[in-house]
Amino acid sequence: MKRAAHDAPFMAVARGQKPSRRPLWIMRQAGRYLPEYRELRARMSFLEMCNTPAAAAEATLQPIRRYGMDAAILFTDLLVPVPPMGIGLDYEPGPVLARTVKTMADVEGLQVPDPERDLTPMLESARRVRAELPESVALLGFVGAPFTMACYLVEGRGSKNWDKTRALMHREPATFAALMQRITDCLSPLVAALVAAGCDGVQVFDSWATVLSAEDWARHCAPFSDALLRRARDAGAVAVHFVNGAPQHLARMSEAPADILAVDWRLPMAELRARTPARFAIQGNLDPTALFCDEATLRRKVRAICDAAGDRHVFNLGHGILPETDPRALEIVVDEVHRR
């Protein structure tokens, strides 16, 4: 299986080596801000794109061709593993699950997917992309952190505060723990399969941990994210840990078996770097709305992050790029980062 070179910029930073240039990729870089993506998306639904390897591979490669990113992230969705777990899924346009998980019986009824059988399109997409990428560009797969997946399984759709999920955690801790373990059991084989299919790294996204206290996340959730990160490293891949909107969790994140800690924009990079052990590379952390600044201001913000982050740094946004973003703004960011 073709892989990124050991000295590819992303891989070098992840492994603690000096890169040829500061690596950069952007969360949701394959998406709606690109006109070529919108043309592709007009021909099929979101789930159809995720489950059509030719389309998913094309979406993954589009920002690499346009911008020369140092990592491609596989075009798919956190919830694509949910239907093989036995729960129907649709997008209206946000995700809507056909049923929710409320009891221990519901947890026990969740099926553990076989990635090669049940998630074939995702793995085939990874193989196609890795075959097309140069050795200087890493390929990243991703999975949802068990807590973020639990939020959707318990509530069935998006929520502001995920009250039902947090209530289950406190009211029925045994059921919640069993759910977290079952989700981990469902995703762990996928992590290994993504690496076998050509992914050089796997990012574990905890999109909703911001609603939890530091104590609750550390006790009830972090060990299950750790298990997925460990599985990625055991498979030979770079493990990236992203917890959105949650600086209260940084101390516990710093105990994770990860290579890279990915951070959002809510704390200055200098503070984040100071609070992060030197053994970790750090990824982030431009505010996505900064892409709406004038060019001089945007370049200044990018330089400030790079200067504060030091050498073990993967430049990224603090969350996904917004669909309304002018693609030219990203050209400016890429140019400024690669000047560094």
Q: What is the C-alpha separation between 42 and 90, in angstroms, rounded?
A: 17
Q: What is the C-alpha separation between 228 and 259, in angstroms, rounded?
A: 13
Does some domain include residue 131?
A: yes
Residue 266 DSSP one-character state? S
Give the sign of the dihedral formed by CA 54, CA 56, CA 59, CA 62.
negative
Q: What is the C-alpha separation between 163 and 211, in angstroms, rounded?
A: 9
Does some domain include residue 274?
A: yes
Does some domain include residue 1?
A: no
Q: What is the DSSP string of 69-119?
A: -SEEE-S--TTTTTGGGT--EEESSSEEESS---SHHHHHH-----HHHHS
Q: Total domain count for the chain?
A: 1
Does some domain include residue 118?
A: no
Q: What does the CA dihedral 19, 291, 276, 165 come to, rounded to 10 degrees?
A: -130
In this prediction, residue 85 has a pLDDT band, given cuts at 50, 70 and 90, of very high
Does some domain include residue 159?
A: no
Lowest mean per-residue pLDDT among 93-97, 133-137, 214-218, 286-290: 93-97
Instruction: Report the CATH number at residue 130.
Output: 3.20.20.210
Residue 278: pLDDT over 80: yes
Does some domain include residue 193?
A: no
pLDDT at position 274 is 95
Does some domain include residue 116?
A: no
Q: What is the pLDDT of residues 5-31, one digit of tens each?
A: 999 999 999 999 999 999 999 999 999
Query: 3-class SS at 124?
Result: helix
Q: What is the C-alpha separation between 229 and 234, in angstroms, rounded?
A: 9
Q: What is the pLDDT of residues 38-65, one digit of tens each?
A: 999 999 999 999 999 999 999 999 999 9
Distance (Å) of CA 124 to CA 51, 80, 116, 199: 10, 14, 9, 11
Does some domain include residue 262?
A: yes
Domain with 235 in it: 9-85+125-145+199-339
